[in-house]
A and B are shown apart, each in its own frame.
Chain A
Amino acid sequence: MGSSPSHDLSEFRLETREWLGANCPAEMRQPSRGEQDICWGGRDWIFQSDAQEEWLHRTARKGWTVPTWPQEYGGGGLSRAEEFVLREEMLRIQARSPLDSFGISMLGPALLKFGNEEQKRRHLPKIALGEIRWCQGYSEPNAGSDLASLQTRAADAGDHFLVTGQKVWTSYADKADWIFCLVRTDITAPKHRGISFVLFDMESAGITTRAIRLISGKSPFCETFFDGVVVPKENLVGELNRGWGIAKYLLTHERQMIGAGGTAKGPLSKKTLGEIALESIGVDDRERLRDPILRARIADSDIESLCVDLTAARLKDEASQGIEVGARSAILKYAGTEAKKRRHEILMACGGFDALTSVDNGPETGVFAREWLRSKATSIEGGTSEIMLNIISKNILQLPGE
């Protein structure tokens, strides 16, 4: 699929550049400022502007919301190398992503690998078009790091399952249209072998959601409660009781996404630690930051973040040459999130009193503090740092189990 000889790629690059030039609205040629600029799509999606709507429709028509998916499912049918070129060309004009969703990043890849034809035809095009928005039902109050111990039950009721239980940390459950969910279908089997992967409509009867407030204020996380939810059996992905394999596949994907983000994110990352510190403190007579000890901490953090970002770039370059990231996504996640937390601690120190405004006074206030507090979650969500170290130990270093 797709072509690899370099002369084809340069032709593709020219065509892509032309298409982007003609089709990407000017308003969409600015990087997102944050959560508020993301286009999630979905049944209830209200476009923030005509430009956002146009941009989604044009890219979706071309299959470029999901460039490497097969064309018969709404994708662009591009090779990895071509996708790389597309991303470069988009970056060149600062074109923002037309559509972001867990359907694109997580469910889609899972369906492509494990779904049957009917499921692919039913769900993938709607993801590609941004018509259906998905959320992920994994963690439970008693199943965090030990996800496989999950208890949400899917009882066999003939031609459908009845799902009862509770999920937690479900991002955007209150806004999503459908959910992909890990449920227990065999309570007698060892925990990993009684799990199934099912899909269902969040508008089904018996579902309630409740937003979770974090130390950083509002968040997209929700508690989600299921009380006898009807799930048709055709919504089972893969084999009954074999859902854990799909879950693991997706977790690796999720980890790569978080890791690929590197250390920069959010409005505060536009300014460097040095810039903020200089504003707060000023310089000495050698034009250096007047606090030499803070200066040293800033330099260490800058160097650490640089090395992490270069590692994300290196692994990405290797992937483009066919060397898969694999378990090394755990390296990116661990190193990236720990570096990010350290950066935010120093950022708060650089901001001083300016960083001490409350996070509870509306979205425009308390930006320093909100990002600092939110950064604490990054080493927990998507697999804790401790789990990452376990993965590195077992899968990369091949150290023996207990």
Chain B
Amino acid sequence: MLVYSEDQQLLKDSVARFVKGNSPVSALRRIRDAKFPLGYDTDVWAEMDTQGWLGVLVSKEHGGIDYGFVGASIICEEMGRTLAASPFIVASLMAATALHLSGPNAPAARWLPAIASDRAVVSLAVDEKPKHAPAEITTHAVPNDDGWILTGAKSFAPEGFQANAYIVSARLPTEAGTALFLVEAGDPGLTVERIPALDSRNVARLRLSEVAVAHDRLIALPDHGLEILDEALDAGRLGTAAEMSGISQEVFERTVDYLKQRKQFGRTIGSFQAIQHRLAHLHCEIETLKSVVLAAARAAEDDLATAKSLISAAKAKAESVSQLAAAESIQLHGGIGMTDELDLGLFMKRVRSASELWGDRHFHADRFAALRGY
């Protein structure tokens, strides 16, 4: 059923209140203006931890609340509405998924409880090229008696700066495919550099210069590595699509409100039919986006492995709709829409970043088509 349960509606209301009070858009603005390198407020992260949300996908056995993908996507959507900055999607959705699927193993035992109850930030270091391409990596892991030696570079690791640990994808010399390893902050040979990001969020590039990882840092070997990675990425794609849906709804509502007030030519500009039709069209686009995000979240909750085509549809649709919403919101605000004083520019910048994360609309249309057999 594509309706929220009562509990889910309560969660939605609760997160909405939380972000409004604890992390409104002005919080991101402050982070940006202070050039605060962490890119998020640890007090907000701590508050989210108190709410139990950080363990949303962590099993109860590991200290989480195991609330499922619909709950997780609700949190993401509401956070999108205020551009609330945090490592939530990367750590609580993606890393948690990767560790759950690969376990039981040492990294899962060590890091799942830490994610659920210790505010641990585990980032994904996967991409190496300018466009998301998880299978196209040159980072490699050479085995030795104690484990492996990792060498390579990762170009874009969201939430990577000052993360506690990283899930790193690498090739093995002897077999095709992708392996996943757990690298910890402070491991010798690991360099993490902050990228000053368009959306003011935490992003890093990594260099691994012969980073030694012991056997107990292996997450998955190539028979499973890419499969697990893809599901972890899908968790991120879903969460990001939900965030983009929240952004779309927020900028749309602000625009409608503005157009009901702004007067030119002796009348409210929201009374011009040309303007009304653009808004009505956008409203329909946003409604259809909400539907596919919810359907994808439900499918992911039933079985993440088989939710791929819905998740790709959601991510692709989220990009086209949120880009339209962001662009229209600026255009329809006229001159002030272009100013930094208004929040619209911040939303648009986040839409741009979110579009690139974990595969853009082209990537996902391609995957959707492939899954549909063409």
| A residues whose Cβ falls under 8 Å from a Cβ of B | 272, 274-275, 277-278, 288-289, 295-296, 298-300, 302-304, 306-308, 310-311, 313-314, 317-318, 321, 323, 328, 331, 334-335, 386, 388-390, 392-393, 396-402
Also in contact, A318 and B271, with CB within 8 A (given A302-B368, A306-B313)? no
- Least Cβ–Cβ distance between A298 and chain B, in angstroms: 7
How would residues 265 to 277 of chain B score, 1 for a CB under 8 Å from any chain A CB and 0 otherwise? Answer: 0011011110011
* Chain B residue at minimal CB-CB distance from A286: B370
Residues B291 and A392 in contact, CB atoms below 8 Å apart:
no
Instruction: List, in ascending order, chain B residues with CB within 8 A of A318's CB.
Output: 2-3
Chain B at the A interface: mostly helix, strand, loop or mixed? Answer: helix
Residues B256 and A397 in contact, CB atoms below 8 Å apart:
yes
Also in contact, A393 and B280, with CB within 8 A (given A288-B370, A289-B369, A400-B271)? yes
Instruction: List, in ascending order, chain B residues with CB within 8 A of A335's CB.
Output: 284-285, 287-288
Also in contact, A295 and B369, with CB within 8 A (given A310-B2, A314-B3)? yes
**Docked complex Cα distance between A295 and B285 (Å):** 22
- Least Cβ–Cβ distance between B297 and chain A, in angstroms: 12
Residues A390 and B292 in contact, CB atoms below 8 Å apart:
no
Also in contact, A314 and B294, with CB within 8 A (given A308-B288, A402-B271)? yes
Interface size for B (C-beta < 8 A) is 40
**Docked complex Cα distance between A137 and B96 (Å):** 61
- Near A by CB (< 8 A), chain B positions 250-305 give 256, 259-260, 267-268, 270-273, 276-277, 279-281, 283-285, 287-292, 294-295
* Chain B residue at minimal CB-CB distance from A281: B374
Is B373 located at the chain interface by the 8 A CB criterion? Answer: yes
Residues A307 and B292 in contact, CB atoms below 8 Å apart:
yes
**Docked complex Cα distance between A401 and B272 (Å):** 8
How would residues 95 to 114 of chain B score, 1 for a CB under 8 Å from any chain A CB and 0 otherwise? Answer: 00000000000000000000
Residues B271 and A399 in contact, CB atoms below 8 Å apart:
yes
Instruction: List, in ascending order, chain A residues with CB within 8 A of B281's CB.
Output: 334, 389
Most chain A beta carbons < 10 A, residue from B270, B288, B295:
B288
List, sorted by A's number, 12 A–B pairs whose CB atoms are closer than 8 Å: A288-B370, A299-B316, A303-B292, A303-B365, A310-B288, A314-B290, A317-B1, A321-B3, A331-B287, A390-B277, A392-B284, A393-B273
**Docked complex Cα distance between A137 and B260 (Å):** 38
Instruction: List, in ascending order, chain A residues with CB within 8 A of B237's CB.
Output: none
Residues B374 and A314 in contact, CB atoms below 8 Å apart:
no
Extra 4 A-B pairs, beta carbons < 8 Å, given A303-B368, A307-B291, A388-B280: A288-B370, A299-B368, A389-B276, A402-B267
